[in-house]
Amino acid sequence: MAIDLISIDEARARILAEASPLATESRPLADALGMVLGEEIVAAHSVPRFDNAGMDGYAVRSVDTIGGTPDSPRRLSVVETIPAGRAPARELGSGEAAKIMTGAPVPQGADAVIQSELTEESDNEVLIFDSTDPGKNIRCAGEDVMAGDRVMGLGDALGPAEIGLIASLGYPTVVVHRRPRVAIVSTGSELIEVDRPLGPGQIHNSNSYSLQAQCRQLGIDPMMLGIVPDDYESTLQLMRKGMEYDVLLTSGGVSVGQFDFVKDVHDELGVERRLWGVRMKPGKPLAFGVRGDTLVFGLPGNPVSVMVSFELFVRPALLRLMGHRKTTRPLYRAIITEDAANSDGRVFVVRVRAWRENGCWRVSTTGPQGSGILRSMVGANGLAFVPGGSRGVRAGEEVDFLLLREDLEEL
């Protein structure tokens, strides 16, 4: 049976057309990393709430320090000590100083903090060995956020800095789009779990583990439903269970072989197919459809095909479900350092190592590129796209590539 192949871009567009942000929920801030806001964050108070010391030292009136030198220091009376977390007891007067710790409120009357290294204290007096300017070493109220500021909005993703900023505003919980519930099924009678010894003709089930890890990189903890043998009824029952989730990922069984049942099971379970087959290698036999609110992916069975298909198609869909506006990685141009042949009409997705050299991107392949050679993914921090045609690309020519990790060298 011939498969009507479509382009990578068209396949991704069809998939994203079926993926809408999931409902929102209230989530503890500490558990919201990587999630997307479903509310605006408005500052109820300024940050900082009060003028405070930027370092340990002495709060002073800057006019009282004019002319201070090591040989002719200014002498001020130390009237109190202000630790962080305690309000000043009094206003600072002429000729007075307050010993102050980093983060402590600056007393009224003071307009600078002079660091301890430029002072010497003795008998309730401090010698000032340098003059200072108004505002020196003071963190002003509201210099980070002013009360009433809209600091984050709908659709903003929460990274470490965003989490910290929201915490500084006193939000214990946030409203975010929930993470999708994902189920993973591996198909194939040859598969056996990793904790069991191999028998004749058997291989360990790696696909479920790589898919689980790719999901976890997005903050999603998928449900591993296990292995299903090449049996129609068994496949039907386990996939029916998988369709109780927001997303079902199966690997294997989507080609045209005698024991490839996944596509037929999709039909029996009422999956509305949106595509079957992409003009790429590895990863051609990709099936995708919807059943109710469930996105159903039938991924190829070869280990590299699974990971590449996840990166190009599943990952964008999961990000869209989570509410992310940006769902694909940036595309760059790079000089390839070796020939990459590609004589058929499909795009060859090559696993590459990418680096910067003299301000330009360069990529080289990670070794043999067969769809079953998982080591080609281990050494890769990018995926390069070699167009189909009469020859592919030659060393020194340019290719498009996606950057998967930023563990780069600059030569």
Residue 384 pairs with which residues in a beta bridge? 350, 401
Share of the chain above pLDDT 70, in %: 97
Distances (CA, A) of 209 to 79, 104, 133, 223: 65, 50, 61, 11
The residue-averaged pLDDT of 305-318 equals: 97
Tokens of 74: 């200014």
**What local confidence, expressed as pLDDT, does residue 2 receive?**
53
Which residue intervals of the chain bear CATH 2.40.340.10? 331-403
Say if residues 122 and 104 touch (Cβ distance below 8 Å): no
**What local confidence, expressed as pLDDT, does residue 411 receive?**
44
Tokens of 69: 């030198």
Provide the edge-to-edge strand list for the sheet that holds 119-122. Answer: 112-115, 57-60, 96-100, 74-82, 125-128, 119-122
Side-chain-facing half-sphere of 204: CA atoms under 13 Å: 8
Q: How many CB atoms lie within 10 A of CB 28?
A: 9
Q: Is it the case that residue 256 has pLDDT exceeding 60?
A: no
Which residue intervals of the chain bear CATH 2.170.190.11? 52-139
Tokens of 196: 């069991």
**What local confidence, expressed as pLDDT, does residue 386 receive?**
95
User: In 271-323, which residue ranges form alpha helices assigned H by DSSP?
Assistant: 303-309, 315-321
- At the second CATH level, the architecture of 8-22+179-321 is 3-Layer(aba) Sandwich (3.40)
pLDDT of 144-202, one tens digit each?
999 999 999 999 999 999 999 999 999 999 999 999 999 999 998 888 888 898 899 88
CATH of domain 52-139: 2.170.190.11
Which residue intervals of the chain bear CATH 3.40.980.10? 8-22+179-321
Averaged confidence pLDDT in the chain: 93
- Domain 24-47+143-177 has what CATH class? alpha beta
Say if residues 262 and 246 touch (Cβ distance below 8 Å): no
- Residue 253 neighbours by CB under 8 Å, 6+ apart: 187, 188, 230, 235, 259, 260, 261, 262, 263, 298, 301
CA distance 60 to 76: 9
Eight-state DSSP code of residue 37: B
- At the second CATH level, the architecture of 331-403 is Beta Barrel (2.40)
Which residue intervals of the chain bear CATH 3.90.105.10? 24-47+143-177
